[in-house]
Amino acid sequence: MFETSNSSWLSEEVKTGTTIMAIEFDGGVVLGSDSRVSAGESIVNRVMNKLSPLHDKIYCALSGSAADAQAMADMVSYQLQLHSIEMGEAPRVSSAATLVRNISYKHKEELSAHLIVAGWDRRKGGQVFVTLDGMIARQPFAVGGSGSSYIYGYVDSAYRPGMTKEECLHFVTNTLTLAMGRDGSSGGVAYLVTITEKGSEEKVILGNELPAFHDE
């Protein structure tokens, strides 16, 4: 009894629980994530930034197993840097997404992490790619993680094509707040990253600064 209850931290895999999302607008993308990392019932990191840079203007949002997601992001970041040096120009978002997809698909059975890749490149502007289960698809916006189930209704009704950068930031903040309010595995603070031609801009919204909804 002592073994199983107290050594659960050792055998429980560290998952990022999570709510992540990314949305395109004309001129760039906005990515958002919560900050909770759990191992079983215990929260091991309440301020983790799940928006990981793959390159200057390409970020990915991590979800699923923390170890798998971090390892994948590290591998892709290395491969992308090499690719970018070989090409002599900034990499395309679709290249980054393809590299993520290649690893996801090849090790489909072993890995349990989902990365949403989003960024800006010269050719096609802001793009969001989903790479769940080893496929690759470009979408105007994407949500992921355990908290995403609770907000499909909200995003499907509140999304309008052609939103401005500020509207997108507002939309992402609201979505994350709603998800964190309902999903036990999501919480903490909200991290937002805006990527445009000029570069990337990171922002943190602390727990008490999140918008309040009817139940508070």
Partner 1 sequence: MASLSVCQPQCGGFSFENSKRNALLEAEFTKLGHSLPAARKTGTTICGVVFKDGVVLGADTRATEGMIVADKNCSKIHYISPNIYCCGAGTAADTEMTTQIISSNLELHALSTGRPSRVATANRMLKQMLFRYQGYIGAALVLGGVDSAGPHLYSIYPHGSTDKLPYVTMGSGSLAAMAVFEDRYKQDMEEGEAKQLVRDAIAAGIFNDLGSGSNIDLCVITKNNIDYIRPHDKANKKGVRSGSYKYKRGTTGVLTKNIIPLDLELVEEVVQTMDTS
Enzyme catalytic residues: 18
Q: Alpha carbon of 33 to those of 50, 80, 86, 136: distances in Å? A: 6, 23, 32, 20
Query: With binding defined as CB under 8 A, does residue 82 bind partner 1?
Result: no
Q: How many residues bind partner 1 (CB under 8 A)?
A: 23
Query: With binding defined as CB under 8 A, does residue 65 bind partner 1?
Result: yes
Residues 45 to 64 in contact with partner 1, rule: CB under 8 A: 45, 47-48
Taking a C-beta distance cutoff of 8 angstroms, is the pair 77, 55 a contact?
yes
Binding mask 97-136 for partner 1 (x = CB under 8 A): -------------x--------------------------
Q: Which is nearer to partner 1, 37 or 193 (CB)?
A: 37
Rounded distance between C-alpha atoms, residue 8 and residue 188, angstroms = 23
Rounded distance between C-alpha atoms, residue 94 and residue 118, angstroms = 9
Please report which helix (H) or strand (E) contains residue 5, including its range.
helix 2-6
Q: What contacts 13, CB < 8 A, 6 or more positions away?
A: 39, 65, 66, 67
DSSP for 98-139, please give it: HHHHHHHHHTTTT--EEEEEEEEETTTEEEEEE-GGG--EE-
Q: Which of 27, 53, 70, 154 binds partner 1 (CB under 8 A)?
A: 70
Q: Per the structure block, which two tokens stand in for 23?
A: 């949305």
| Least distance to partner 1, CB of residue 145, Å | 15
Q: Which of 27, 53, 56, 71 binds partner 1 (CB under 8 A)?
A: 71
Query: With binding defined as CB under 8 A, does residue 208 bind partner 1?
Result: no
Binding mask 28-47 for partner 1 (x = CB under 8 A): ---------x-x--x-xx-x
Taking a C-beta distance cutoff of 8 angstroms, is the pair 165, 28 a contact?
yes
| Least distance to partner 1, CB of residue 60, Å | 15
Residue ranges binding partner 1 (CB under 8 A)? 2-3, 6-7, 9-10, 13-14, 37, 39, 42, 44-45, 47-48, 65-71, 110
